[in-house]
Amino acid sequence: MVIDELLRRHPNLPIKKVSFDGELYKTDSHHLLKPLTYMNLSGHAIAAVKNFYKINDVVVVHDDLDLPFGTVRFKFGGGHGGHNGLRSTDEMISKDYIRVRMGIGKPTDKARVVKYVLESFSKDEQTHLESWIKHTADAVEMLLKSSWEDVASKYSIKKFQLQ
């Protein structure tokens, strides 16, 4: 959803190449990739684009069960925290990339996690979704101009309250 927002904001050119395993778009200053692999293999798509275009700096926007809904945090490197998409990315390109962590909360019953991450947002969450997505897209744009630490200090949302 963040990539869709960025695509709305910037003129872009779709790039078709089957080996990228994703929808790739070129803007005036960066590439935006929406992997089409299973999430557990998303690192393959990221590595294919990174290697083909010789990209040094990668930003991965991802959901995070360990953060409450609406939270936005930033991190460089580190562990995958059980997130299979990050595990795949770490294996394919190393851990040296910026992570934009978007908290989605988690169910109380761990057996429901797989179903939970595939469900639509609740009605309460949907009322805040647009502003959360725009806020995160603003942060990603700022990452092109500032350090991730500066962006983190300005754009992190530590606790989001649903009304």
Place of tokens 């999430």: 39
Q: Quick check: 25 and 4 in contact, CB under 8 A?
A: no
- Please tell me the CATH code under which domain 2-155 is placed: 3.40.50.1470
pLDDT band at residue 158, thresholds of 50, 70 and 90?
A: confident
73-92 as b/e: b if 16+ CB within 10 A:
bbbeeeebeebebbbbbbeb
Could you tell me the pTM of the whole model?
0.91
For the segment 91-145, what is each residue's pLDDT rounded down to a tens digit? 999 999 999 999 998 888 888 887 888 889 989 999 999 999 999 999 999 998 9
- Taking alpha carbons only, the member of 146, 49, 36 closest to residue 98 is 146
Gap between the Cα atoms of 88 and 8, Å rounded: 28
Q: Quick check: 11 and 36 in contact, CB under 8 A?
A: no
Domain ranges of the chain: 2-155
Q: Which residue has the higher pLDDT, 139 or 18?
A: 139
For the segment 74-84, what is each residue's pLDDT rounded down to a tens digit? 999 988 877 87
pLDDT band at residue 40, thresholds of 50, 70 and 90?
A: confident
